[in-house]
Amino acid sequence: MSIDLATCSITELQAAFAQGTCTALAACRACLERIAALDAAGPTLRAVIEINPDAEAIAAALDRERQESGPRGPLHGVPVLVKDSLDTADRMMTTAGSLALVGNIAPRDAAVVARLRQAGAVLLGKTNMSEWGYMRSTRACSGWSSRGGQVRNPYVLDRSPLGSSSGSAVAVAAGLCTAAIGAEVDGSIVRPASSNAVVGLKPTVGLISRAGGIGVAEPQDTAGPMARSVADVALLLNALASRDPNDPATDAADEHRPPDYGAFLDPAALQGARLGVARECFGQHEGTDAVIEQAIAQLRDLGAEIIDPVRASALPFFGELELELFLYGLKDSLNRYLHSHPLAPVRSLEELIRFNRDHAAEVMPFFQQEFLEQAQTKGDPGDTACRQVMAELRRLSRTDGIDRALREHRLDALIAPTEGSPPFVIDPLVGDHILPGGCSTPPAVAGYPHISVPAGFVHGLPVGLSFFAGSWQEGKLLGYAFAFEQATRHRQPPRFLPTLGADRPQRGSL
């Protein structure tokens, strides 16, 4: 095989397929071998929670189909992983990382999984994640689940992978797959993308169907693509974006979806673009700030007009209002999901809480389930109190936030560091050390698109640059991210260092 599957793009892989130097089956086997060597053994990344036992058979069938009738499109034969919160109607389970759902075989594919299969992707397996989308405990550890253990950052192994789609980001960064699907309610796509030097796109809520996914809060939930390049994210988005009658939020998707997101990928896309610097997202770490200041200078060199400073939102990450919405939404989402899955071992949030108490030694060795218990006390999302919370969040994020910034400064998009600091040390006893900087919350609460692209490193730890704007602006954001990516080429593959500074000579060494 003449192609490096750990670093290649979808386009490069398709060229190898067309030239006959690689097959879908060979690519599938190479990824499975790499998962065995790096994920289950070696650095032990724990990014993959389950292997699809049918992956090789699917790849072989797609090779035969290519020979007989040609490829279905650019994803034909491409090895992809999906987050463990997305249903697959096969021999794999859907557990959201929880031991409570071991044995849960879904009756049908999630909409995004069905579209991947239709496009000819090879579903390698499922990725590990923060259990229940990080909504179990007030001091959870990003990337830890009772079923899959702790996902580790491939750049420095004792550092956090961040976000609940941590397994998807790590798998892409480490070359365990060509691309992956994550899901986000606030930061769960873009934050792990930033912290693992990959590209992650959280689309407008309603562009991609949520049907068949385990969510947290419907107004903010969405799946989204993750890959090593902006071009690959655009190809994935072409396959995923579509109206779905099973998700009313997508009713306008086809109206706003362009024929090809790849048409926006112009190296000159930044020329004349007015970009506002969301300064409230800075100031938490001098290293991150320095990387983003350099990125701003590079954007200016590429022809962008920089408006600085701009205030995008006053919303804090995981603030009280957003948490209140999540607690209402979590109860509703979990109860609806569990009631509709006959093979789920627990059938309600109440039963889940009881299971965790009965199996505390395995399920809760470090932190508890405060969020689940708080959610159980909440009423229906249609309650007046919840509707008032949603209205206030939309006012703060849209009317008096992103919408106002874009209008008053005549902006095309806003920019900021995706995460306030480089990845912190994993600490299962104390939990995550999340600093208040970064910009995931405003576009997440607004339901607006947000893309993170690699911007550089701080002592070998990745830092991401974010672009976000109003609804349905994915094409424009992809163009800006592509132009920045192509001009800077900041992404470097991981080296699996055991700890920070492990690559440097120690004092007194030769």
What pLDDT score does 509 carry?
33
Query: How far is the C-alpha of 259 from the C-alpha of 44, rounded, in Å?
Result: 41
Beta strands in 23-169 (DSSP E): 48-51, 79-83, 122-127, 144-145, 149-150
What pLDDT score does 1 carry?
63
User: What's the CATH code of the domain at 176?
Assistant: 3.90.1300.10
Which tokens sit at 344? 């789920």
Please indicate, yes or no, if residue 3 is contained in any of the structural domains: no
- Residues of the chain short of pLDDT 50, as ranges, are 506-510
Which tokens sit at 411? 């902006």
Please indicate, yes or no, if residue 508 is contained in any of the structural domains: no
Evaluate whether 77 touches 62 at the Cβ level (below 8 Å): yes
What pLDDT score does 502 carry?
82
Evaluate whether 348 touches 338 at the Cβ level (below 8 Å): yes
Query: How far is the C-alpha of 17 from the C-alpha of 152, rounded, in Å?
Result: 32
Residue 306 CB contacts under 8 Å (≥ 6 apart), including other chains: 275, 277, 296, 299, 300
Q: What is the pTM of this model?
A: 0.97
What pLDDT score does 383 carry?
92
What pLDDT score does 314 carry?
81
What pLDDT score does 507 carry?
47
First and final CA of the chain: distance in angstroms? 39
Share of the chain above pLDDT 90, in %: 95
Task: Sort strands 274-278 and 305-310 into parallel, antiparallel or unpaired.
Answer: parallel
Which tokens sit at 138? 């007030």
- 233: part of which helix (H) or strand (E)? helix 230-240
Which tokens sit at 465? 């640059």
Count CB neighbours of 301 within 10 A: 11
Query: How far is the C-alpha of 205 from the C-alpha of 444, rounded, in Å?
Result: 9
Residue 387 CB contacts under 8 Å (≥ 6 apart), including other chains: none
Domain count, the chain: 1
Query: How far is the C-alpha of 207 from the C-alpha of 204, rounded, in Å?
Result: 6
Could you read off the pLDDT of 48-75 as tens digits, one per residue? 999 999 999 999 999 999 999 999 999 9
What pLDDT score does 316 carry?
83
- Give the domain range for residue 383: 10-488
Q: What is the separation of C-alpha 65 from the centre of its chain, rounded to a whole number of angstroms?
A: 31
Please indicate, yes or no, if residue 493 is contained in any of the structural domains: no
Which tokens sit at 152? 């580790």
* Single-letter code of the amino acid located at 165: S
Evaluate whether 123 touches 52 at the Cβ level (below 8 Å): yes
Query: How far is the C-alpha of 277 from the C-alpha of 170, rounded, in Å?
Result: 28
Point out the catalytic residue in the list 130, 142, 160, 188.
Answer: 188
Evaluate whether 465 touches 193 at the Cβ level (below 8 Å): no
Give the dihedral sign, CA 343/355/329/315. Answer: negative
463 strand-pairing partners? 456
Strand arrangement of the beta sheet that strand 179-184 belongs to: 48-51, 122-127, 79-83, 179-184, 222-227, 199-202, 450-458, 461-468, 413-417, 274-278, 305-310
Point out the catalytic residue in the list 130, 145, 160, 164.
Answer: 164
What pLDDT score does 250 carry?
98
Query: How far is the C-alpha of 345 from the C-alpha of 349, rounded, in Å?
Result: 12
83 among known catalytic residues: yes
Query: How far is the C-alpha of 356 from the C-alpha of 371, rounded, in Å?
Result: 13
Task: Sort strands 305-310 and 413-417 into parallel, antiparallel or unpaired.
Answer: unpaired
- Tell me the backbone φ, ψ of residue 413, rounded to 5 degrees: -165, 165
Please indicate, yes or no, if residue 476 is contained in any of the structural domains: yes
202 among known catalytic residues: no
Share of the chain residues as helix, strand and coil, in percent rounded to the nearest 5: 40, 15, 45
Task: Sort strands 149-150 and 144-145 into parallel, antiparallel or unpaired.
Answer: antiparallel
Closest CA to 138 of 408, 323, 264, 328: 323
DSSP for residue 90: S
Q: Give burial (CB, 10 Å; 0-12/13-18/19+) of 212.
A: buried
Evaluate whether 197 touches 174 at the Cβ level (below 8 Å): no
3-state secondary structure 135-183: CCCCCCCCCEECCCEECCCCCECCECCCCCCHHHHHHHHCCCCCEEEEE
Please indicate, yes or no, if residue 376 is contained in any of the structural domains: yes
* Single-letter code of the amino acid located at 379: G
Which tokens sit at 199? 């590209």
Provide the H-helix boundaries in 35-161. 55-69, 111-119
Provide the H-helix boundaries in 258-409. 286-301, 320-339, 349-358, 360-363, 370-376, 384-394, 403-408
378 among known catalytic residues: no
Evaluate whether 440 touches 186 at the Cβ level (below 8 Å): yes
What pLDDT score does 360 carry?
97
Please indicate, yes or no, if residue 506 is contained in any of the structural domains: no
What pLDDT score does 291 carry?
98
Count CB neighbours of 459 within 10 A: 11
Query: How far is the C-alpha of 70 from the C-alpha of 73, rounded, in Å?
Result: 9
Closest CA to 59 of 178, 226, 211: 178
